[in-house]
Amino acid sequence: MNPVKALEQHGQAIWLDFLARGFIAKGDLTKLIDADGVKGVTSNPSIFEKAIGSSDEYDGAIGAALAQGDRSVGELYEAVAVEDIQHAADVLRPTYDKLEGRDGFVSLEVSPYLALDTKATIVEAERLWAAVKRENLMVKVPATRQGLPAIKQLISKGISVNVTLLFSQKVYVEVAEAYLSGLEALIANGGDPSHVASVASFFVSRIDSAVDKELDDKIATANDPAEKARLEKLKGKIAIANAKIAYQDYKRLFSGDRWKKLQVCGAKPQRLLWASTGTKNKAYSDVVYIEELIGPDTVNTVPPATLDAFRDHGKPRASLEEHVDDARAALKDLANVGVSLDAITDRLVTEAVQLFADSFDKLLGAVAFKRETVLAGGIDTQKLALADDLAKSVKEHGEDWRNTGKIRRLWDRDKSVWTGTDEDKWLGWLTSAAAEKAKLADYTEFAKWVKARGFTDAVVLGMGGSSLGPEVLAHTFAQQPGFPKLHVLDSTDPAQVRTLEHSVTLGTTLFIVSSKSGGTTEPNVMKDYFFARVGETVGADKAGQHFVAVTDPGSSMEKVATEAKFARIFHGDPTIGGRYSVLSPFGMVPAAAAGIDLGQLLDLTMAMVRSCGPDVPPQENPGVQLGLAMGCAGLEGRDKVTITSSKAIADFGAWAEQLIAESTGKDGKGLIPIDGEPLAAPSTYGNDRLFIDLRTDGESDAAHDAKLAALEDAGHPVVRIVLKSADAIGQEFFRFELATAVAGAILGINPFNQPDVESAKIKTRELTAAFETSGVLPPEKPALTTADADLYTDESNVAALRKAGADGTLDSWIKAHLARTQSGDYVALLAYIERNAAHIDTLQSMRLAVRDARHLATCAEFGPRFLHSTGQAYKGGPDSGVFLQITADDANDLAVPGQSASFGVIKAAQARGDFDVLTERGRRALRVHLKGDLGAGLKSLDKAIRDALN
């Protein structure tokens, strides 16, 4: 007789510890049921990893699942795993029916990530039970401390459980207790226990592997031959001895009065199942863990090779109750030789959880890869070209992130991923794209209203996070037919306010006043100004109908907007900081007003959100990969994140700049984003750069690509991101948000606060308050006055500059200032002037002159805009900045209705507040105040810089 089949006569059921799609589809499982009497199937994360991850057998199924709609990697895995389990359950169903529910089960394990979480295990087990929808399913739950209450709870709800990762007799007793008390609770609630089944999966071979190793260590150091022989005798004996004693416990636990009470209600005993019965040590018989453990009412689940071996040469006999005393003696002797089985079994549980988590990581990584392949047309690509050291560091940090489940913890909003301060309160952006999708109908209504009103222009009045995202949208998307043109105003420069005013038709303009806090000066004064101007144009009572507000609930701006009868007030999410808010109402309201297809934008975005999900391990997770590259580059001094964006998405860098600088630049650490520097030859740069290049598919620029390739060849780290189209910009918003959060964790800072911006705001407030009472800003004393300019800085900078040769000319001061730069520094031009094409060009030319002559990174920024962006890093980040602040007389100031401080005064106070904080922080800073004609002043400054560099 077939030895496998013969096990039936001993009351033991043989199950198959294996599963794969083709194996079931081709009828191989059916054959084993028919020929060998196989009565069940078990799976585990390693089994699925081998099945799904190491073959192309599932590509079709994954493709078919995705054809019904994109989904997260975890959901995708579950979809195919559930199908496999259903197929196996259906093949085993006749066995289940024939044996009246006493056998014919298939097991599916809950995620190993949840092994230490009772509540999550229960939720997942219930979900899997409902998803598989098969009576002959057993959900596998580990016998960890946290798993035990989950087991009881699930049994009490009538869910059949295969208790897994069981190694110790002591824990086995607790497992049986969980089952019995679960059944009692079920009955007490009127449930029918006859529909519930359970097995306790006692792991065998792993125990021998672990015990043998300790015995071998002792044998190696033992001197006495008798002692060596005693140790040798125990090898390969303990796992079976342990199992035999557990079986004695089983007989006791499922025989007394307590059990009989349950039995009369129809309860089935929780059978012991021998798991881990494939022989690991080649020196032992390949069927030893079947042959020695045969007994009534037990199960043995075996891998295919062990099944084949037993069929070939197995010798069944009723072995389980043989030599039970010897088994006890062996266990005692093990203790006597100083090996603690308890310690080993405890360790084995921990290791087993980690091993399955490792397999699950691999499995989800493989599914993520397959998903990306199937969706190749829909997900932006990213390639990292990192030199060896950086690549190694990224790999090591990635492995640490994987091992410690950090990406899942991040998504679980665990603040200990960062500094443990209050980061958990600032993670709303993780789910904001999905949340915004749910509001599509409202946005569509709003867009309809905007269109119907015939607005020609829509102007966002806001700063930083409230303006830079909308600005990217305004630049990236063409004006939509029938919808207004989208503009952004983020300045207190009088000339810039006027230019904006002249570029729109006030009577047909919609103003979107955006401020999360509601208390930011700029949006408030811009609103006051334009509200009055619109009132003058359309009538004061109708002005409100030209305004909407986006602000967090309860802000002062909400109050103002309500009183002024704004057409709409949209609420932001208080758990999202400004720079992470583009995929929230702060980006979506302007986008809707401009008629951008939000459904498409968010759908495209969601593909990246899923790619960066908690279930995608670091290696395959594009956001984590970018963040690790940024963070690790920062740790090795490559802290100038140089962003180049192609024409179609040219404004992206201005948004990313705020995100990276304000998030990471603090506590003397951080990354300095460099936006707007065109690429140059490798010799132009120091060793402090990380290049991130973004372009859309279809755009090509051979000269730019050649420069990038040369940088890579020269050993600079280069990240290349290719967007499927400009419409996919939302994917980059999300990728960069996640990457910045990850980089923040690597750098060891809180990426969600901006302490140094607040300091500058306080100084500015003090200065404007002084103006409101006295009518002038407090006087200041220039370090030098010339016909064209006044120079200001604090005493310590003055002393340093004089020592470096600053004397009676502008040129000498600029020269002394630039002479203070060292390799690894950056030079930032901070100009409080109108941000227009001509001024952008002028600053560009100055910065590039510095870069090319000094091989330094450069920034060209406009105030007060940058105060709400890179300003944080300049003040709070690494002390590697050399700052040249540029201020000027305003040719024509502009009054702010209702207050004495004009736009010009506010701008001047902002510049001074900014500068004071820079010098207070000991930064190398010099302020040049240009007098008279601005164009001429900028020219003489440009000349001074060039002369200084020569």
Ligand X SMILES: O=C[C@H](O)[C@H](O)COP(=O)(O)O
> What does the binding site for ligand F6P look like in residue numbers (CB under 6 A)?
462-466, 515-517, 520, 523, 578-579, 662, 754, 757, 868
Contacts of 372 (CB under 8 A, 6+ apart): 379, 611, 620
Site for ligand X in 759-778 (CB under 6 A): none
Distance CA 918, CA 915 (A): 5
**Residue 168 site contact among ligand X, ligand F6P, none (CB < 5 to 8 Å, cut-off depends on kind):** none
Q: Which of 201, 359, 658, 887 binds ligand X (CB under 6 A)?
A: 201
Beta bridge partners of 672: 640
**Residue 757 site contact among ligand F6P, ligand X, none (CB < 5 to 8 Å, cut-off depends on kind):** ligand F6P
Q: 10 Å Cβ neighbour count for 756?
A: 23
Using CB under 6 A, count the residues that bind ligand X. Answer: 12
Beta bridge partners of 694: 645, 721
Give the position of tokens 């029918």. Answer: 192
Q: Which of 12, 72, 279, 301 binds ligand X (CB under 6 A)?
A: 301
Compare residues 12 and 301 and give the one whose CB is closer to ligand X. Answer: 301
Site for ligand X in 40-99 (CB under 6 A): 42, 44
Compare residues 470 and 730 and give the one whose CB is closer to ligand F6P. Answer: 470
Compare residues 523 and 937 and give the one whose CB is closer to ligand F6P. Answer: 523
Compare residues 17 and 620 and give the one whose CB is closer to ligand X. Answer: 17
Alpha helix segments (H runs only) across 222-237: 225-234
Closest separation in Å from C-beta 75 to ligand F6P: 34
Distance CA 777, CA 768 (A): 7
Compare residues 208 and 662 and give the one whose CB is closer to ligand F6P. Answer: 662
Closest separation in Å from C-beta 309 to ligand X: 14
Backbone angles phi, psi at 295, to 5 degrees: -165, 165
Compare residues 203 and 250 and give the one whose CB is closer to ligand X. Answer: 203
Closest separation in Å from C-beta 337 to ligand X: 25
Using rule CB under 6 A, residue 17 touches ligand X: yes
**Residue 464 site contact among ligand F6P, ligand X, none (CB < 5 to 8 Å, cut-off depends on kind):** ligand F6P
**Residue 44 site contact among ligand X, ligand F6P, none (CB < 5 to 8 Å, cut-off depends on kind):** ligand X
* Site stretch for ligand X (CB under 6 A), options 201-209, 764-772, 779-787, 933-941: 201-209
Selection from 844, 848, 841, 784 nearest residue 814 by Cα: 784
Pairing verdict, β 640-645 and 672-675? parallel
DSSP state of 44: -
Report how far Cα 299 is from the mean position of its chain's Cα atoms.
42
**Residue 523 site contact among ligand X, ligand F6P, none (CB < 5 to 8 Å, cut-off depends on kind):** ligand F6P
Closest separation in Å from C-beta 577 to ligand F6P: 6
Distance CA 695, CA 421 (A): 37
Show the tokens assigned to 30: 């059916």
Beta bridge partners of 693: 644, 720
Selection from 411, 426, 302, 353 nearest residue 7 by Cα: 302
Q: Which residue sits closest to ligand F6P, CB atoms considered?
A: 578
Q: Which residue among 39, 140, 237, 761 is the active-site one?
A: 140
Closest separation in Å from C-beta 594 to ligand F6P: 19
Closest separation in Å from C-beta 470 to ligand F6P: 12
Compare residues 276 and 753 and give the one whose CB is closer to ligand X. Answer: 276
Selection from 763, 654, 749, 642 nearest residue 704 by Cα: 642
Decide if 525 contacts 532 (C-beta within 8 A): no
* 856 to 116, 177, 661, 825, 852: CA distances (angstroms): 50, 69, 18, 6, 8
* 399 to 406, 511, 620, 798, 812: CA distances (angstroms): 10, 48, 12, 49, 52
Contacts of 227 (CB under 8 A, 6+ apart): none
140 is catalytic: yes
Using rule CB under 6 A, residue 198 touches ligand X: no
Query: Is 264 exposed, middle or buried (CB count within 10 Å of its CB: 0-12, 13-18, 19+)?
Result: exposed
Report how far Cα 738 is from the mean position of its chain's Cα atoms.
5
**Residue 913 site contact among ligand X, ligand F6P, none (CB < 5 to 8 Å, cut-off depends on kind):** none
Backbone angles phi, psi at 689, to 5 degrees: -110, 150
Compare residues 165 and 569 and give the one whose CB is closer to ligand X. Answer: 165
Compare residues 205 and 466 and give the one whose CB is closer to ligand X. Answer: 205
Report how far Cα 273 is from the mean position of its chain's Cα atoms.
39
Distance CA 625, CA 394 (A): 8
Compare residues 164 and 524 and give the one whose CB is closer to ligand F6P. Answer: 524
* Cα diameter, the chain: 111
Show the tokens assigned to 242: 């342990």
Decide if 462 contacts 527 (C-beta within 8 A): no
Using rule CB under 6 A, residue 916 touches ligand X: no
**Residue 605 site contact among ligand X, ligand F6P, none (CB < 5 to 8 Å, cut-off depends on kind):** none
Closest separation in Å from C-beta 489 to ligand F6P: 13
* 383 to 134, 528, 646: CA distances (angstroms): 44, 47, 16
Using rule CB under 6 A, residue 359 touches ligand X: no
**Residue 662 site contact among ligand X, ligand F6P, none (CB < 5 to 8 Å, cut-off depends on kind):** ligand F6P
Site for ligand X in 151-180 (CB under 6 A): 164
**Residue 842 site contact among ligand F6P, ligand X, none (CB < 5 to 8 Å, cut-off depends on kind):** none
Closest separation in Å from C-beta 401 to ligand F6P: 27
What does 142-173 look like in DSSP terms, one character per residue?
Answer: E-STTHHHHHHHHHHTT--EEEEEE--HHHHH
Site for ligand X in 267-286 (CB under 6 A): 275-276, 278
**Residue 517 site contact among ligand F6P, ligand X, none (CB < 5 to 8 Å, cut-off depends on kind):** ligand F6P
Binding site for ligand X (CB under 6 A): 17, 42, 44, 164, 201, 203, 205-206, 275-276, 278, 301
- The residues annotated with a catalytic role in the active site are 140
